Amino acid sequence: MRTRISIAGLMWGVLLLALGLAALKSGSDAWSATIFLLTSGTLGLGVVGVVCDAPVARRWCVRLTVFATSQ
């Protein structure tokens, strides 16, 4: 079974990669704090999803929490 990735999904991935690379290049305290806040928020939402979601959606939330990536 092949996983199909949409163009919109690829665009989100490119956006996240660009933001991460800009944060690395800039190195300012504001960028570091922003990226840390986004990462912490994503991991927090993943934990909430593991606890509250149905078993099918729970697998996606576990992957999000463990690998900190989206589909």
pLDDT value, residue 15 = 92
Rounded Cα–Cα distance for residues 45 and 34 (Å): 16
Kindly give the parts of the chain with pLDDT less than 50. Answer: 70-71
Radius of gyration of the chain (CA): 14
- The token duo for 65 is 């929490």
User: Would you kindly state where each structural domain of the chain is located, as residue ranges?
Assistant: 7-67
Percentage with pLDDT > 70 across the chain: 90
pLDDT value, residue 34 = 81
pLDDT value, residue 71 = 41
